[in-house]
Amino acid sequence: MSIKIENLTYKYMIGTPFEKTALNDVSLEIKKGEFIGLIGHTGSGKSTLIQQLNGLLKPTSGEIYIDGESITSKGANLKQIRQKVGLVFQYPEHQLFEETVYKDIAFGPKNLGLTDDEIEKRIKRAMKVVSLDYDKYKDRSPFDLSGGQRRRVAIAGVLAMEPEVLILDEPTAGLDPRGRDEILYEIKNLHKEYKMTIILVSHSMEDVAKLADRLIVMYKGKNILSGTPKEVFTHVETLENIGLAVPQVTYVVKRLREKGFDIREDVITVDEA
Ligand code: ADP
């Protein structure tokens, strides 16, 4: 499923003294199956942007097309859009409420009117991807699990809806380094398993660079850079100026360039970072 954003502007609290332009004339395209890292400092507009993509916020001006169909026009079918575009909010585990892991993950699929067999199949698949053993955890209360496990249950709940686009807003926030690596590994896995389009929102270059095919860098409501991690890292100065910590290797390259070495872009590999 492809996404096209045209001249998107979004203002909060229009007409009040607190009016704030959170997105300023953003145009971009995301192709089916791409793994995008959406990166930028706090307040750069990332959350505002992703909330437009499943209709939670309506643009002040501009258009969004999903598979060529406008989701911003009057007649848009928001229910269908939310089924296609799954959004995992920050700290999604705060939204768990059922008595068992099974029931929590089943909540969304049940509303789709699927058969019990199909629901069970989807739950098993989603739990496998987030590395939760089905038999061991299905009857457990989400509230007896660790923070990282609870988050995986919440992610499985969105996965079980089998959206075509999955958006994850800072999925590693607040986890310890091990929990962080596990979740990132699972996200990589689910991109393979479900072949969905993924937008991973983060303020950590290290995290997104490991996973994404392409980075989109946001600054003050604008998408200022886009390209493969390698391409984006060649803009060390810009990234430094907007407060994004870049992987170590880019500093090495920068120093070598300052010393007059002609370093080609294609020698920079993220793995070396
Ligand atoms: P990010 O996700 O990159 O941290 P946000 O999209 O949350 O950025 O915020 C973009 C800008 O919009 C910021 O200046 C922020 O203060 C402002 N903003 C976000 N949410 C609201 C809101 N509900 N009301 C007013 N301003 C907001």
Q: Pick from 9, 10, 19, 20 the residue to mutate for probing ligand 1's pocket: most ligand atoms within 8 Å of its CB.
A: 20
Select from 230, 199, 224, 204 the least CA-distant residue to 36. Answer: 199
pLDDT value of residue 189: 86
Tell me the average pLDDT of the chain: 89
Atom of ligand 1 nearest to the CA of 41: 3
> By the 8 A CB rule, do 46 and 36 touch?
no
pLDDT over 80 at 264, yes or no: no
Q: Write out pLDDT tens, residues 128-171.
A: 989 999 999 999 999 999 989 999 999 999 999 999 999 999 99
* Helix boundaries (H) for 195-247: 205-211, 229-233, 236-241
Q: What is the DSSP string of 16-81?
A: STT-EEEEEEEEEEE-TT-EEEEEE-TTSSHHHHHHHHTTSS--SEEEEEETTEESSSTT--HHHH
pLDDT value of residue 12: 97
As for the ipTM of the complex, it is 0.98
pLDDT value of residue 159: 93
Residue 12 Cβ inside 6 Å of ligand 1? The answer reads yes
Which bin fits 167, alpha (ψ -120 to 50), beta or left (φ > 0)?
Answer: beta
The whole model's pTM is what?
0.89
177 token code pair: 């380094």
pLDDT over 80 at 272, yes or no: no
Residue 13 Cβ inside 6 Å of ligand 1? The answer reads yes
What is the distance in A from the centroid of ligand 1 to the CA of 56?
14
Q: Write out pLDDT tens, residues 163-222.
A: 999 999 999 998 888 888 888 988 988 888 888 999 999 988 888 888 999 999 999 999
Between 231 and 134, the more confident residue is 134
Select from 227, 189, 269 the least CA-distant residue to 39. Answer: 227
Q: Write out pLDDT tens, residues 77-124.
A: 888 888 899 999 999 999 999 999 999 999 999 988 899 999 999 999
- CA dist 245 and 6 (Å) reads 29
